[in-house]
Chains A and B, each alone.
Chain A
Amino acid sequence: MPRSSSLNWQDRLFRWACLGFALLILGLVAALAVELAWSSRLALRAFGFSFLWTQVWDPVREVFGALPFIYGTLVTSAIALLIAVPFGLGTAIFLAELAPPRISEIIGFLVELLAAIPSVIYGLVGLFVVVPWVRSVASPSVDAVLGWLPVFQGSPYGVGIFTAGLILAVMIVPFVTTVSREVLLTVPRSQREAALALGATHWETIWTTILPYARSGIIGSIFLALARALGETMAVTMVVGNRPEIHPSIFDPGYTMAAVLANEFAEATSNLYLGALIEIGLVLFGITIVVNGVARLLLYRLHDTSAVHV
């Protein structure tokens, strides 16, 4: 709408200033991508794509392969999703379908609080509570039953891939729950009433009608949680064991991309070493952009219609 006052120079100045700040954000993100690629050029040139699937990480001989970190990141995140999705979705269904609005509000707030707790505090509790528990209870008892499978072989450490996955699970439940709950609340009343009118029980209505209707949004929430898990640093660094090795058992120590950055970045002595670490940052950046992008595509419709901003 053309407005006479917008011809005013003060208005134009203000508009340009706001635009400038907005463009600064665009510039920052572009600079971030360019800088990561540029700063890792030494490693990119030295190792090429084999960086992604070689296993040796030896700063002394300056041989760098990122596979153990990529493996650790993917497996810890997968374990986190396996635990967090059922609990998160179950909670979301309870909040959206069963709980009275007042209770739903309160529990929703409490679940969001889980997301507000700083990562380093999760690491602290993980280190002093979860690690001893895994060492003395979880690992031996799983080993006793399923130990014949290499994946579940026990280990005497307590720190390891499973411990990290377990803590990540708690950290990402709020993302699954909060977003899924909003998605479930957008399912039209008519869908639900149609199923109930056909004689479906409450659960059958949820299972056959509401969940399928909300499917893309729920998957979106899962991807959103996955992106968080992939990039999570402190809590994982404190409990994953920090060994650049790939072991078959989930109870063995491992390493993740974010954790190696946290541990080794400040001490990286040579340019190639630093380049290799920054390349890991670049890979992490790329993966999280893709996963977040998928989440956004799936949640796009929702984004326009409700109060969810992701």
Chain B
Amino acid sequence: MVRDPLMARRNWANRLALASTGLCALVTVSVLFFLLGYIAVNGIGALNWAFFTQLPKPVGEPGGGMANAIVGTGKLLFLASLIGVPIGFFGGVYLAEFGRNGKIAFWVRYATDVLNGVPSIVIGIFAYVLVVLPMKSFSTLAGGFALGIMMIPIAVRTTEEFLKLIPASIREAADALGVQRWKTILFVVIPAAFRGLLTGILLDLARVAGETAPLLFTALNNRVWSHGWMEPTASLPVMIYTYAIAPYEDWHRQAWAAALVLMLLVLVVNGGARMVLPRRSVVV
């Protein structure tokens, strides 16, 4: 059999093709490790105490840090969660508990999908026209608004998914005891799904934490502290962008440091989510 030349050729083709799929996987994973390694090597050398505690130095002067950008990113994420999480969460509760397969639920899911596919820069335009123009100022508020909208689709999807995982018997048990529906949802179903819900929200936050495009003309940037919510603010991703395309060696160094910090945030949250959830459903 093996000497049959046709069979031999087919076997070779088989091995070659299967090996090349393995090679594809190897290349893809290598690219990831190269990226992580490159960022780690360049970032660690640049990371120091000043990075976390000092303001940016005036242009041309070496040293300084990104304290204002770190606080700025924190404020933006806080505001984004205030806007994105309630809308996404209760929208998801509606889909899982009330809407189910109805017409309204269909359109809400459709809108969520559309929103998920809208390029982040277009969300930036939306926030610009809706918040920046009327207020006549770039602000933390506008940036947080843009990021908040970006959080909605994933918040809706994960909420719906994790609530649906809770077996009907649990709801029925509460019903049988005469518990009102809203109490069942808030105090029985949601706590039962809590781990998944929290993880979903954290993943959502990690995703928007690195968003740059919607901040470019909403939160803008700032080389000093931003007070309150109505002033332009620095943020880590926008700082990485600004510093990377600037012609100063020292700024490039700090951009790598900021990239490492962002990268660690993303890795910790994604890795953590993987630990907490036995098999996370694939949310793309």
Contacts and interface: CB of A to CB of B under 8 A. Distances in A.
Interface residues of B, number: 96
12 contacts: A6-B181, A18-B94, A22-B108, A117-B266, A118-B266, A129-B38, A202-B18, A203-B18, A234-B237, A266-B138, A284-B119, A289-B114
Contacts of B190: none
B95 interface: yes
A120 B240 contact: yes
Contact of B24 (A8, A18, A91, A201): A91
A227 B117 contact: yes
A91 B20 CA distance: 9
Interface of A: 3, 5-6, 8, 10-11, 13-15, 17-26, 28-32, 35-36, 39, 86-91, 93-95, 97-99, 107, 109-121, 123-125, 127-129, 170, 173, 175, 177-179, 182, 201-204, 206-207, 224, 227, 230-234, 238, 258, 261-262, 265-266, 277-278, 281, 284-285, 288-289, 292, 296, 307-310
B122 interface: yes
B274 interface: yes
Contacts of B245: 127, 238
Interface stretch (B6-14, B51-59, B63-71): B6-14
A118 B117 contact: no
A233 B25 contact: no
A234 B215 CA distance: 11
Grouping DSSP codes into helix (H, G, I), strand (E, B) and loop, the B interface class, with mixed when no group exceeds half, is helix
Contacts of B193: none
B115 A28 contact: yes
Contact of B244 (A93, A238, A258): A238
Contacts of B18: 98, 202-203
A243 to B, nearest CB: 15
Contact of A292 (B91, B113, B210, B213): B113
A28 B270 CA distance: 28
Given A120-B210, A231-B121, A26 B107 contact: yes
B120 interface: yes
B39 A121 contact: yes
Interface stretch (B74-82, B223-231, B255-263): B255-263
Contact of A91 (B11, B25, B91): B25
B158 to A, nearest CB: 9
Nearest to A299: B284
A22 B263 CA distance: 33
